[in-house]
Amino acid sequence: MGLVSGFVGSQALLALVELGVLDRLRDRPRTAGELSPMLGLAPDRAAILLQAGVALQLLRRARGGRYALARRGAALLGVPGLGAMIRHHHVLYRDLTDPVALLRGEVDTELARFWPYVFGAAGPVAPEVAATYSDLMSESQELVAEETLRAVSLAEVGCLMDVGGGTGAFLSAVGRRWAGPRLMLFDLPEVVAGATARFARHGLAARAEIRSGSFRTDPLPRGADAISLVRVLYDHADSTVAALLSQAHAALPPGGRLLISEPMSGGARPTVAGDVYFAFYTLAMRTGRCRSAAEIAQLCTDAGFSGVRAIPTARPFLTSVVVATR
């Protein structure tokens, strides 16, 4: 049953988030009748949604026919940007309407247009589009950074360059954790614009340098003894990844460190997060793919890196980590 109900559950979750149900229960439990005018739903329809919320363990039944936030619902509300991240799945679900056509490459996917400049190949992008994208990414970055920095210590790094680092969320997490590393951000010009304010907000402006360009066409800046690629490789085809890793190799001094962090396929042991969710998500993105740690390690080795190894993370559905040495 779980297999076929999963998609319906996702749609119910979308409705709960879209209508702000969790938010409306933040202060106190309410009945379906109380909520119905707030949600713009007939009472019996509101009850259907609330019951689904309970079944999904986001809500719980309280006394007097009321519905309250369950621990999972409260946790969801507590993660910044998670609501927006859930809402953007409308786009993915439309692309998945005919999964066979998607697999055959016959769908002109909306998701590819939703993240239009991810690939740096589509020309300039409107600032508001860049901002929406960057907000979604940087808000979800907090959890990814937390998981990544649990797996690796960057305390001894002299200068960390985060390539495809968006608006500097990962570097800010590194800077707040360790006082030592200088921070260098490299991303497309329309994206890095948001980084100045972020570094200033975290008191990191003096340690941070912002460089813009495209790793497709520009050489990577020199001067860093460690390079991170967080949620970058899975957006791109193998040929782009191979060229990027060669660039990273050339930009690092001997002994320099490479850190790759992104959701990965389970490889020989497929996982629902990596081999269902992220595999189909990147399929709909159309230019990249979700690779296993072994595949990423091979690409690193081919680019000239040594000491390549995967480091297990506690929450692989958020991210997995591969490190290597120049």
Ligand X SMILES: C[S@@+](CC[C@H](N)C(=O)[O-])C[C@H]1O[C@@H](n2cnc3c(N)ncnc32)[C@H](O)[C@@H]1O
Query: Which residues in this chain contact ligand X in the complex, by CB under 6 A?
Result: 118-120, 137-138, 141, 144, 164-166, 169-170, 187-188, 191, 214-216, 230-232, 235
CB of 246 to ligand X, least distance (A): 14
CB of 141 to ligand X, least distance (A): 4
**Cα–Cα distance for residue pair 172/204, rounded to 1 Å:** 7
Burial class of residue 260 (count of CB atoms within 10 Å of its CB; 0-12, 13-18, 19+): buried
Q: Name which of 101 and 126 has its Cβ closer to ligand X.
A: 126
Q: Name which of 38 and 129 has its Cβ closer to ligand X.
A: 129
Q: Are 50 and 13 in contact (CB under 8 A)?
A: no
CB of 120 to ligand X, least distance (A): 3
Q: Name which of 141 and 265 has its Cβ closer to ligand X.
A: 141
Name the phi and psi angles at 118, rounded to 5. -50, -35
Q: Name which of 16 and 137 has its Cβ closer to ligand X.
A: 137
Helices (H), 40-162: 43-55, 71-78, 82-87, 89-95, 99-103, 110-114, 127-151
* Closest by Cα among 10, 78, 22, 82 to 50: 22
CB of 183 to ligand X, least distance (A): 13
CB of 154 to ligand X, least distance (A): 15
Q: Name which of 64 and 123 has its Cβ closer to ligand X.
A: 123
Tell me how far the alpha carbon of residue 182 is from its chain's centroid.
24
Q: Are 264 and 315 in contact (CB under 8 A)?
A: no
